[in-house]
């Protein structure tokens, strides 16, 4: 009871005092609020700039998507070699790679020697293989991606045309994103010491070219498309075919879609 009385007395006393003479405490309170307001007011205005990132390219007019038909892949590794040549990917690191799945009732075997860059050698497995296939992998450019969420410096971001990119200048190389990516799509660049990953060849696609891996794929396994373009083959396939994504249960909403994906593929 005592405590309650004292509190109500304080509450009653304060406004009365403030009305007569603003004490030091109230003055400082007000000043701090003013300062906060001023800070927000001044901080809210970064330099205004044009909408268009580059000459002749409007990123609001595109939303890219990638489609992989695993039934067509022959495991030649041309894509991984082209990617390395196009993007200066250091040896032993991969922006895209190919996995081979050899599956039987008794077991399964997955390999990806040098990311599939040199093709695939014959393989012996200790069970009776009933099916085998190749699965190309790359960054899924997820809509709800954990890699951006964990970046402490705003180096990873998603563009308006639907890519996840890494700002090498902002990146401090903490590798949180490398850990966060459930697809293993990122690596720490051994020379630059910043996170690196597939960009869907942003320097090509913004010029109307296809990513290097799609450009060289001899079987049409890899397809690149624009969801904002009508009659785009990739858009039509995603809209009308039975497509799936890797690790859909994680709800990362990948924008790299797969046709004819097997349950063994993670």
Q: Which residues bind other proteins (CB under 8 A)?
A: 24, 27-28, 31, 34-35, 38-39, 42-43, 46-49, 53-54, 57, 59, 71-78, 82, 85-86, 100-102, 118-123, 125, 129, 132-134, 154-160, 165, 167, 169-170, 199, 201-204, 206-207, 209-210, 212, 215-216, 218-220
Nearer to other proteins by C-beta: 78 or 96?
A: 78
> Residue 4 class from Cβ within 10 Å (0-12 exposed, 13-18 middle, 19+ buried)?
exposed
CB 245, min distance to other proteins, A: 22
| CA atoms within 13 A of residue 23's CA, in its CB half-sphere | 7
Q: Which is nearer to other proteins, 139 or 201 (CB)?
A: 201
**Least Å distance between CB 8 and other proteins?**
31
- Pull the structure tokens for residue 256: 């790299």
Give the whole-angstrom CA distance, residue 125 versus residue 7: 78
- Closest CB 137 distance from other proteins, rounded Å: 14
Nearest to 204 by CA among 87, 60, 49: 87
Nearer to other proteins, 218 or 248 (CB): 218
C-alpha neighbours within 13 Å on the C-beta side of residue 126: 1
* Structure tokens that stand for 136 in this block: 């190309």
Give whichever of 132 and 244 is closer to other proteins, judged by the CB atom: 132
The residue (of 121 and 126) whose beta carbon lies closer to other proteins is 121
Residue 158 vs residues 21, 141, 154, 167, 221: alpha-carbon distances, Å = 53, 8, 11, 11, 26
Residue closest to 122 by CA, chosen among 105, 100, 142: 100
- Three-class SS state of 205: helix
Q: How far is the CB of 123 from other proteins (least distance, A)?
A: 5
Rounded least distance, CB 243 to other proteins, Å: 19
153: number of Cβ within 10 Å: 11
Comparison of 129 and 261: residue with beta carbon closer to other proteins: 129
Q: How far is the CB of 6 from other proteins (least distance, A)?
A: 30
Nearest distance in Å: CB 238, other proteins: 22
Distance between CA atoms of 137 and 154, rounded to whole angstroms? Answer: 25
- For other proteins, which is the closer residue by CB, 102 or 181? 102
């Amino acid at each position: 009871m005592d405590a309650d009385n004292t509190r109500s007395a304080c509450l009653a006393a304060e406004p009365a005092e403030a009305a007569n003479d603003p004490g030091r405490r109230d003055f400082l309170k007000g000043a701090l609020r003013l300062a906060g307001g001023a800070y927000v007011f001044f901080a809210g205005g970064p330099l205004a700039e044009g909408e268009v990132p580059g000459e002749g390219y409007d990123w609001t007019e595109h939303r890219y998507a990638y489609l992989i038909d695993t039934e067509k892949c022959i495991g030649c590794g041309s894509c991984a070699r082209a990617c390395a040549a196009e993007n200066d990917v250091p040896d032993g690191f991969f922006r895209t790679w190919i996995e081979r799945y050899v599956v039987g009732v008794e077991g399964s075997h997955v390999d990806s020697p040098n990311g599939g860059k040199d093709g695939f050698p014959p393989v012996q497995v200790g069970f009776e293989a009933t099916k085998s296939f190749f699965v190309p992998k790359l960054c899924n450019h997820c809509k709800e991606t954990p890699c951006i969420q964990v970046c402490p410096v705003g180096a990873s971001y998603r563009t308006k045309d639907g890519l996840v990119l890494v700002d090498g200048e902002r990146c401090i190389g903490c590798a949180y994103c490398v850990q966060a990516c459930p697809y293993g799509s990122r690596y720490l660049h051994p020379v630059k010491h910043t996170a690196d990953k597939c960009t869907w060849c942003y320097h090509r696609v913004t010029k109307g070219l296809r990513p290097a891996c799609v450009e060289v794929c001899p079987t049409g396994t890899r397809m690149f498309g624009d969801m904002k373009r009508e009659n785009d083959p990739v858009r039509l396939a995603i809209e009308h075919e039975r497509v799936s994504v890797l690790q859909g249960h994680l709800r990362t909403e990948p924008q790299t879609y797969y046709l004819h994906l097997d349950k063994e593929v993670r």
